[in-house]
Structure 1
Amino acid sequence: MIKFKKLVLAAVATTVLAGTAYAQGAGKTIGVAVPNLQADFFNIIKQGVENYGKEKGYKVVVVDAKGDAATQVNQIQDLIAQKIDALVYIPAGATAAAVPVRAARKAGIPVINVDRNVDSDPGDTFIYGRSVAATTELGKWICEKTGGEGTAVMIHGQRGTTPEKERTEGFTAGLASCGIKISQHQWTERWAADEGNRIAQDMLQRDPSINIIIGQADGIAMGASQAVKLAKPNHKVWVVGFDGDPGALLAMKNNGTLDATATQQTWTMGKMAVDAVTDVLAGKAVPKDQPTDARVTTKENVDQFIKQHP
């Protein structure tokens, strides 16, 4: 009889806790503004916010800027007009990135920045991956594999965004540890495979001796790897990306078109954004910065990230 009572009490406690968790977001709406859902990285963050947010009882409304900053400003103004309770914001570019933060603040809406910050007008908290540390490690990995010899080029993400600046800094520092300098730089607008492919083709035509191509995101790097395949160089060309997108991890494992990346805690960042929303709406203090680690990923350890993406 005593055992039965304990089981009943445990079941009631579990139900109450579950109800409390759900009540945290009941009747509240999270607006999620992402730069481009064609990119796996942003798509996974979006899914993390959606899935975990719904577990907590929130309604989640997502808008996709398709890489255009002006479109994103308009989309966020529409979200504010819909009276969202919080905004999870990944700026589509450096230009006008502060405008949505100011507009949300004026409406009394908290802002959770993910992956990209707005230096002049930061949100209530910034959730991001430690890009400098991870790309420095990747640069040193390239040094080890090439013996510090070769011609390196870099295909950047969108100029002026937080990850673009930090990944430039990290990769440059890592390569400098063995004296490799970057001979060509080009920037993309959408961090996309087609841009990486086109730019890498141009780079390889200008200098067929290139043996290191750094893409600041996996999409860029995957496009570059196809350009290498098309060019058919008579030497090994090392292609390195960043983010640990599921498609890139599978390509690394199955056909070796990508040599290395750094796997970010993408799902975790989406969940952290929801937890930050919950804390801010409850009047709790949140840290200004919430960094996460990215792990250097090669064919030797890729299986663990394919099995369980962080």
Structure 2
Amino acid sequence: MKKYVIAIIFLLLLPSFSAERMDESLECSSATDEFFTPENITLKDDAFHVFPLHAETWYYECFFDNDYSMVFIVTVLSNGRTGLALAGIYIYRNTHLEYSDRIFIPSPFFFASDKKPLIKIFGKEIINGDIDKEGNLYYNILFENNGYGISLTFINETRGWKGKMGRGWWLAVPKCKVRGTLVINDEKMEVEGIGYHDHNIFHLYTPLVERGYIDGKLLAEPSIVWGEIFHTRWNSDAFAVISYKGKYISIPQKNITIKEDSYIYDHGRFIPTEVNFSFNVGNEMEGFLHVKAEDFHHIRLPLLWYWRYHVRVEGKIKIGKDEIEVNKIEMMELMIY
């Protein structure tokens, strides 16, 4: 029934679509061993993409040098002329959700630049990305409401990448140095930490033809972004990108194993609470990470099911002669259409 409802919504929105052709880089890719091939990014890649009605998200997460972590996410549903934006903040303490807030902003009270990562709501900047004098990519993000908020600068420490991902598109800046101010119950505290940013484009018909996805990351040296796209209950594609010493390396799908485990029933769905992720590229690179939920919460979205986890990641990674032991807290997310 859910997919029939989505289909009706999609058909109702069709008259709003522009006659212009969708960007060729977003054409559907089929399930192959080269499911995801990352490419270098430019500043404009992280801007809003103007073409027929679609959804884009800008996601920022950070683990601070105290007990706090946070996620800030902005979603824009627009065809470049009219639409709707949603800005949300989630603040965690010791992996447990302490505060969350979401604000809906209709046209014309939001602005998303198609030249650079710049988003405004009610005339105020909440995301502004640029290149500094040393050539470093950085983002200033700002949001405050009801005595909670952030004023942070994310400075890139790795090489960002982008590429087609199933029926969508993904850009990631896998590891950032973060500094700024965190506001908790009207109390301001100066913070530093390690962060992550990604930017996604979704077609409105995706929930009709896909099942969902799970993804996670390791914000370390090396940093890793891994995930599995569920096309159906029985068919999926996996990807993993390692960023190390100023370079990124895409692991071939045939060399990746991702296994979800320890399912529990939550909000009408069976969801995993453990994931085993491994890769092996001969003598060049190999690794195994055991990912186990420390805490998680469900975020209700229209016609979608979404969970965000704080997870304990343990294991070992070998790249050439370098061997790295891993034992740290990270985030993971699960989406079911």
Same fold (TM over 0.5): no
TM-score (norm 1): 0.28
TM-score (norm 2): 0.27
- Give the number of the structure whose residues are more often helix, by fraction: 1
